[in-house]
Structure 1
């Protein structure tokens, strides 16, 4: 079975995780510091996609809906 992600894509993800741990990784529009590990991985994968590396396309419609409480 073929690899899902290229090795260079995994290096990009590892780089973003190191940046997060160091405290220098910031999110796109707001520029806030990234604290979540999952968010750091997502940023690394999206950067790899932009560079044209072998990464599967993003899943659409995976948003969690928040229930309103009164």
Structure 2
């Protein structure tokens, strides 16, 4: 997905909660969305500087 101005955004889910995020957003758990690529969403936890990638599965191939 992309925003109206062309920036990538994704839908992240945790349990029954889903949220649309884009680079720069702060999440409730204190993580910040660092960047979104076709392969992953990279989060950073500012207090420690630790980073984690959430893989994005490839889109299903349709004939």
Q: Which has the larger radius of gyration?
A: 1
- TM-score strictly above 0.5: no
TM-score (norm 1): 0.29
More helix by share: 1
Q: Which has the higher contact order (CA 8 A, sep 6+)?
A: 1
TM-score (norm 2): 0.31
More strand by share: 2
